[in-house]
A and B are shown apart, each in its own frame.
Chain A
Amino acid sequence: DGGITQSPKYLFRKEGQNVTLSCEQNLNHDAMYWYRQDPGQGLRLIYYSQIVNDFQKGDIAEGYSVSREKKESFPLTVTSAQKNPTAFYLCASSVQDRLSPRYEQYFGPGTRLTVT
């Protein structure tokens, strides 16, 4: 079955530590995205990538970093510079169509990160 996997589902870290969240897709999508979800705030875009070896900052990129070395993989690192990292993180992918944004995004199951 095609889809997006995120691991681990739950992650606990001490303040001051960097942590990397995994995202893998086998949908053959070019575009991938990372969102942060906090209660009552909907989803906010952290980073996105349209193609391998290229990525762009979203609305709340400060304190985060990403890489896109393979089409299938888009890991997110939450650095110690992120002031409030405890949240639910969602990875998504979609078909990249430069003519129309009509293709929906497919989401992974999410990773809940708790930093204490």
Chain B
Amino acid sequence: AQSVTQPDIHITVSEGASLELRCNYSYGATPYLFWYVQSPGQGLQLLLKYFSGDTLVQGIKGFEAEFKRSQSSFNLRKPSVHWSDAAEYFCAVVRYSGGYQKVTFGTGTKLQVIP
């Protein structure tokens, strides 16, 4: 069975500081990995995705993530955080099961940005 672990429930960073959100997955085959962001009371928006090729993927809003098979990780990074980045971030692994997309989400990391 696939699983996703986001070990940090809550992270606080200063505006302008760098950010790294951790994600570890468990999946037997090549994973399809996604990062989503959710503002309070809103739906999820895709930041970036990985399914093959270059292990460093670029996303929207200046985010990037690096896929490391040896560590089963797909950590999200941003070099300089803006106050508007305060939100909850979800890592997800996707596979095909019974003809549909089976998405397993992590429990999320809530990001607080302080001035």
**Chain A interface residues (CB < 8 Å from chain B):** 4, 6, 31, 33, 40-43, 45, 48, 50, 56, 90, 92, 94, 96, 98, 100-110, 112
The answer, among B51, B94, B106, for a CB contact under 8 Å with A42, is B106
The answer, among A56, A98, A109, for a CB contact under 8 Å with B42, is A109
Instruction: Flag if B103 contacts A105 (CB, 8 Å).
Output: yes
Smallest CB-CB separation from A44: which chain B residue?
Answer: B105
Instruction: Flag if A100 contacts B51 (CB, 8 Å).
Output: yes
Instruction: Flag if A101 contacts B101 (CB, 8 Å).
Output: yes
Residues of A within 8 Å of B9, CB to CB, are 40
**In the complex with contacts A31-B101, A50-B100, A104-B107 CB distance below 8 A:** no
The answer, among B46, B99, B105, for a CB contact under 8 Å with A104, is B46
| Beyond A50-B100, A105-B103, 4 additional pairs, beta carbon < 8 A | A50-B99, A92-B43, A101-B101, A108-B43
**In the complex with contacts A98-B99, A104-B34, A104-B49, A42-B105 CB distance below 8 A:** yes
